[in-house]
Amino acid sequence: MAMDKDAMAVQRWIELPDKTKRFFEQLEAQNIETLEVVADAPAEDVTEIFVMVRNAKVIGKFFKWLIVGVLGIFLGTIMFWEGMLKVLAWFKI
């Protein structure tokens, strides 16, 4: 009986696409534990987790570009001010 289960598992492994085999081969023990927890969780909870992760990524991108924008405005203002001082120095105002 055990050989039949093993033979079925081997047959299912052989039928898997190569991309799927590579995915399973690179998994570590921690990844397998995580997949087992996700597989046992209710579908609604898993969906909510994926939505939260997606939202966190979006918020992270937003804040990254917010910081880049604020720094750009700050540095641009400094450069503009220095340029205006140079122009005013030409006219000695």
For residue 67, the Cα-to-chain-centroid distance in whole angstroms is: 19
Angstrom distance (rounded) from CA 42 to CA 91? 74
Burial class (CB in 10 A: 0-12, 13-18, 19+), 42: exposed
* Tens of each residue's pLDDT in the chain, 93 residues: 556 778 888 889 899 999 999 998 998 989 888 888 888 888 888 889 889 999 999 999 999 999 999 999 999 999 999 999 999 999 886
| CA angle (27 as vertex; 52, 29 as ends), nearest 5 | 90
Which spans in 16-42 are helix H?
18-25, 29-40
